[in-house]
Amino acid sequence: MLVQHHPHPASAPPAADGPGRARDWAEIQERMLVPLYEAVYQHLEVGTRTRLLGLGCGSGLALLMAAARGAQVTGVDTDQPRMDLARERLLPDSGAGSGGGSTAAGIEVGAHRHGGTRLLYGRPAEAGDATRPAYNLITAFQPIGGCAVDDEEDADSLAAALSAAVPMAERGSAVVLAGWGPPERCATSAVLRVAGRLTERLHTAKSWQPALRDDLEEVAGRAGLRPDGSGRVACPFGYADMDSAVRGLMSTGLFDAAVAAADQATVEKEVIEALHPHVRPDGTVWMANVFRYLVARTP
């Protein structure tokens, strides 16, 4: 599920059924990126000493996995329906009488019993808190490739989000960016190209494009970060049936421009046709993919 991407801070564009699509993301699509989250956390030895800031945290699965390792986590996003689901996952008792809640600034703060977990609706700047220790890990897991990163506006937006977060971190802290792997190693590429074909009729529309080899390094450089290693992770997309596959893929937001250029029914029909080669005899849908992550360091 994803910066996807996300990272800008990542969030899905508005939809007619925002809560429904957010739940499709949380229940169907987001789990496809679990191998990526796990590989990054293992590589960086995330644990009880980790103070993590997740940009574009979405419905919070990556934060939940880090918290399970003992990390203190803060997530920020501009997608309210996904943030509502993240709160259900990470702050289930943060309602009245629990010591948590929402401030006028839109910041949701968990009670002490939640280990200092915070979920904030807004931009990265909202995550600053002079009363708390500085972060030592920043993640931007929404995969680059959701929109063309060589588009100056998108690249600048992501770099700006990272730049806003960097002053909140200790010197030399890790910053993680993620992106799609080579198209020839991502079976989902053929399905995502549907969005590109349908948006050709809108010259200004942004559609999915495969990430280039140095996209992650370019964005890190714009934010003043120093690359410090990278890795590739297999993240297959597997669905119980065609309906789940369509709902999961549509929940990413990568087809929104195509829907605007055509209509929902046309896009779903094209997606189904593109998925047919990936349907197994038992009706499940399976696509092998590779994602890449970059570890950079704050100055």
129-152: burial string, b at 16+ Cβ within 10 Å, e else: beeeebbbbbbbbbbbbbbbbeee
One-letter amino acid at 294 equals L
The torsion of the CA quartet 293, 294, 298, 299, rounded to 10 degrees, works out to: -170
Q: Residue 72's closest CA among 98, 46, 34?
A: 46
Quickly list DSSP for 243-256.
Answer: HHHHHHHHTTSTTH
* Average confidence (pLDDT) over 208-228: 84
Opening angle at CA 195, ends 194 and 199, nearest 5: 120
d(C-alpha 220, C-alpha 167), whole Å: 15
- Beta strand 51-55 with 72-77 is parallel
For residue 257, what pLDDT is reported?
Answer: 85
- Output the pTM of the full model: 0.85
pLDDT, position 175: 98
- How is 76-145 classified by DSSP, letter by letter? EES-HHHHHHHHHHH-TT-STTTT-EE-TTSEEE--GGGTT-EEEES-GGGG--TTSPPEEEEEEEEEET
Q: Using CA atoms, how far apart are residues 176 and 160, in angstroms rounded to an integer?
A: 15
H helices present in 241-292, as ranges: 242-250, 256-261, 264-275
Omega into 9 within 30° of 0, i.e. cis?
yes
Q: Is the dihedral of CA 282, 283, 289, 293 positive or negative?
A: negative
For residue 202, what pLDDT is reported? Answer: 54
Query: Can you list the domains of the chain with their CATH numbers?
Result: 18-184+209-237+289-297 (3.40.50.150)
- Model confidence over 40-70: pLDDT tens digits? 999 999 999 999 999 999 999 999 999 999 9
Amino acid at 41: Y
Other Cβ atoms within 10 Å of 234 Cβ, number: 13
pLDDT reported for residue 215: 86
* Residue 198: band (very low, low, confident or very high) from pLDDT cuts 50, 70, 90: confident
Rounded to an integer, the average pLDDT of 138-150 is 69
What does the alpha-carbon distance between residue 59 and residue 30 come to, in Å, rounded to a whole number?
A: 8
The shares of helix, strand and coil residues in the chain, as percent rounded to the nearest 5, are 40, 20, 35
Which is more confident, 285 or 144?
285
Arithmetic mean of pLDDT, 198-211? 58
3-state secondary structure of 222: helix
pLDDT of amino acid 211: 59
Cβ atoms within 10 Å of 128's Cβ, excluding its own: 15
Residue 11 clears pLDDT 60, i.e. is over it = no
